[in-house]
Structure 1
């Protein structure tokens, strides 16, 4: 078994990784027998482009799908109340949320996923709901970067209210340049609470006890209480095959730390034209339902942990139904964050300290 200081893998949030060995190249081959729904059109690529896509673990070109030939389901597979009253109720639920543990004031949620999956957009969209207008943060994590930083974002309450009890933590590349990837060891160091806010990661300089600001004895507040994987629905079929094993290996290590995991399936409006027109159709869309199953297979996760999301992008005004979907996702995350606190009560904390 590898020790964390010798990461079992690294994953790329930006530029293409160095040319892999024969073994690695094989791990990143696309599955030639993947069945593509009739409504999905895969882009044709040259041989050289295909090689680049195999080498860059998280930078494979996306694709858009159309649901024009896919009928809607007669009834939704999940029930959602699409009303302004429900939006208000969900806002109150999130605003009033406080961790069930008296040792912490906010639940820290780490967003993990490929570049362009919609992590930053999700944070911006949730912040927009509470600010009352669409506000987009700079998408600094959408291009290749030479460094990563741990940056938490408070979800502020409505005007005049205190911040909510949830913090969304993003790991982004902030500067241009070549990059080889973030190691498993460093991701787990973030989750364990050893990494200080604002720390810049470098693949050739793993986090150690000598790292500036290293938290030697992390408190419960320093740790990550829930991990939300973020995947782009329009790219699920074109992610490299090796990405699935990467996700599943990462999930196994995170589970060993007792941290629950959920997933956000973004860009659902790009794969379903009906959902693009009216987001209330999301749970009646056969193609969204199928893509959630494929995302579950990619992550090694039951679809019961996965929720679809439509982020704000070019919109100028908020939409009640989009807000309901976003707030439902946050509420879903908080339920699993609270499970962490229930699992790690004061008397249980001693038994898990050896993991640090």
Structure 2
């Protein structure tokens, strides 16, 4: 009943042929429950940094379709939407597919900027800027970003010598340098599946680059994405199944991904339970209905075949009274000649 070998069984519930209810049980083995995901980088989100001014990321916008089963939903985005806005549009469309966005940029400050280096943050609804000019090393760079994280929503940490700048909302993170001075920094954008983009080198040449956040699509059922900015979001146009057995909580990103997979597994089990509950209600109704039919048939049969005990008892009593009355009258009639003789 748990490994899927039960399959589908039919139960006869009616008096006629083929009046059956089918019950199907799916496997709930760790390899067969989980979520369908699209977490590979697309051509923009989670991919190489784009040479674009603050407030833009080069997203084309348009109408994207998400198909799940027989249902297809349109999701409309506009040009330069951030990963935050795209994920919100998908979730608000009610597609049955949940979207999450997060931006992770690996940065390495190779030389301090003596003229100007600014980090701009844009989540589509609010913007902020952090001046990083004059910072000489990654440790101080992380401290400067974390000092204003309450305003920007961006944090930084150094792990095994690697500085990672993170926006948990999936905001665009833009780095702008003024040029005409010294300074240098390398940047790598990380996809949701952990894949690193190509390295972008900023050499204080008056350039500006933006890292567009990575978008992950999750669903307990299979889905496909097409048209619009689907190619910008992911190269996995069809959701890839990830079972609970693939969960790895050895890293922070793995733990976050595990939550999505486990949520998908729970949703799948809930769906199976709902189906079984519906079948159970149908069977309970059928049992109750058949019991009523049986009772009604028995009553009808009794009315046709069974003796009316009260009526027959009354008839017997009537006959007994008549018989006793007749006997009493005969006894009295027999006594009359004797009385006449006694008078004579």
Whichever of the two has the greater Rg, that structure is 2
Instruction: Judging by fraction of residues, say which structure has more strand.
Output: 2
Assess same fold via TM > 0.5: no
TM normalised by structure 1 equals 0.22
